[in-house]
Structure 1
Amino acid sequence: MATLKMMMAFLCLLLTIVSSNRVTENPKPTAWPEQFHSVLVMNNTKTKELQVVDLWYDWPNGRNLNLIQHQLGKLLYDVEWNNGSSYYYTRGGGGGDSECRTVLFEVGILRPNWLEGATYLGQQHIDGFLCNVWQKVDFIWYYEDVLTHRPVQWLFYTGRAFHVMTFEVGAVLEDSEWQAPAYCFNKEEEHQTLQHPLHFMRDSVPLALI
């Protein structure tokens, strides 16, 4: 009988230790879906600049597109490919108001698990949601809804805060929308080869969004 009581006490102690470890284990950020569409509102906390961004992420096809609408300004296309090529352009019907800049980075687009290794900072209410918060190499703070595990906001060290308005998992943009216009390939002097400022995270954080 005494042996049975000792065994029961040992099992209770073991269960308590296991439960304690589970409680104290920090949550991990959810990997991005391989394909999604998100509407973002960008507020620069330093300059008060506003933008609306349509983000199309397509990992299986190695591409990422940001349609960046500047407040009362131009609509900028930011098309990025996994081979490091990025095209920043506006569309003006092929006239003189069209512009394009081509940049070749040493790395490709963000991987779905780009938040691996981020430091967990705890929980915080952001935009009306209770979020888990992570920090990645002092450059970005990422806020994820505790209940749905969807991103709510991310904040760059530059002060650019991106508020997630919609998040459509599995949405895919038609192929024709990814093709940069012909005038992007006719201006050799505007082609650049750069190391992305966040090359250790990118494999990219879009340069146009930093």
Structure 2
Amino acid sequence: MSPPPPSLVVLPLLLLLLFAAVSPAAANATATAAAGAGASPPVPTPWPEQFHALMFTNLTASGGRLELIDLYYDWPGGRNLNLIRDQLSGDPLYDVEWTNGTSYFFDSGSCHSTLFPVGLLPPDWLAAGAVYLGREHVDGFDCHLWTKVDFVWYYEEVATGRPVRWNFFNGMQQHVMSFEVGGVLEDSMWQAPAYCFNGGNADTANVAADRSGSVDVMNSLTRFAGAPAAAAAASFDQ
């Protein structure tokens, strides 16, 4: 059996670090920030239940590449899809995530699957435990800025409530190039190919696994950061 990608090996350690950071201190910090400002801080705008966003992702600070990601979020359908194109790469990687925590990563000839107990982020995932840091001009927009457990920094345009950018603790940056509320993808595009299920892709699974490594860590940690405490704790009982 081939060893798992290095990024998947470190995932439990990263989760432990994040779990240690999720504590009453986060709630206290939120209350302190509000008291210091003399008024209640702005509340993050919940995500629309369905949207399509084009993301420019910069992974170079953490040793990765540049990527373009078409993100389709479908909360009523219990699914989320990232269509990932690496710089100068002709074969896109599909990352299809389901509400039961199952994710399929596949390209034209290989497939890799993972299971993360937390499932999809709800539309209001950022609200609980987020600390408001004020307003900042970023990517040419006047933005509200929140952080959550010093793991993700989330920028939202003041005028429209649209997400503009989010940064991760490891230096990864995601810039929202377009944001289409109600944007949906036809059902056939969500279906993982047959070779994800027939057991015959053992020789090629590592191709998708290698490409999905950074995406898997990013998405799993983002899900974890947005999960209720009970669900987060339950993930360590699996």
State the distance in 1 between where 2:223 and 2:69 align.
22
Which of 29, 44, 47 is the aligned partner of 2:59?
44
State the distance in 2 between where 1:164 and 1:140 align.
15
Task: Give the structure 2 partner of residue 137 of structure 1.
Answer: 149
SS at structure 2 position matched to 1:41: strand
Q: What TM-score do the two structures reach when normalised by structure 2? A: 0.68
Gaps of 5+ in 1: 1-20, 92-97, 204-210
Specify the code of the residue in structure 2 equivalent to 1:26. P
SS at structure 1 position matched to 2:225: coil
SS at structure 2 position matched to 1:24: coil
Task: Give the structure 2 partner of residue 61 of structure 1.
Answer: 77
Task: Give the structure 2 partner of residue 104 of structure 1.
Answer: 115
Task: Give the structure 1 partner of residue 100 of structure 2.
Answer: 83
Which of 168, 185, 188 is the aligned partner of 2:197?
185
Considering only aligned residues, what root-mean-square deviation do their CA atoms show, in Å? 2.5
Gaps of 5+ in 2: 1-35, 210-215, 228-238
Q: How many residues align?
A: 176
Cα drift, residue 172 of structure 1: 1.1
Conservation of the 8 A alpha-carbon contact between 1:43 and 1:161 = yes
Which of 34, 40, 43 is the aligned partner of 1:28?
43
State the distance in 1 between where 2:42 and 2:78 align.
28
Specify the code of the residue in structure 2 equivalent to 1:150. R
Cα drift, residue 198 of structure 1: 4.8
State the distance in 2 between where 1:177 and 1:30 align.
28
Large movers: runs of 4+ above 6 Å? none
Residues 1:173 and 2:185 aligned together = yes
Give percent identity, aligned residues only. 54
State the distance in 1 between where 2:198 and 2:226 align.
28
Question: Whose helix proportion is higher, 1 or 2?
Answer: 2
Q: What TM-score do the two structures reach when normalised by structure 1? A: 0.77
Cα drift, residue 121 of structure 1: 0.5
State the distance in 1 between where 2:44 and 2:148 align.
11
State the distance in 1 between where 2:113 and 2:172 align.
23
State the distance in 1 between where 2:70 and 2:168 align.
18
Specify the code of the residue in structure 2 equivalent to 1:68. I
Question: Whose strand proportion is higher, 1 or 2?
Answer: 1
CA pair 202-181 structure 1, distance change in 2 beyond 3 A: farther
CA pair 168-23 structure 1, distance change in 2 beyond 3 A: farther
Specify the code of the residue in structure 2 equivalent to 1:107. V
State the distance in 2 between where 1:178 and 1:48 align.
26
Cα drift, residue 187 of structure 1: 3.0
State the distance in 1 between where 2:38 and 2:178 align.
31
State the distance in 2 between where 1:171 and 1:23 align.
39
Larger Rg: 1
Cα drift, residue 67 of structure 1: 0.3
Cα drift, residue 43 of structure 1: 1.2
Cα drift, residue 44 of structure 1: 2.3
| 1:8-66 CA distance string (max 9 Å, x none) | xxxxxxxxxxxxx9973210110000000000101125137210000000000100000
Specify the code of the residue in structure 2 equivalent to 1:169. V
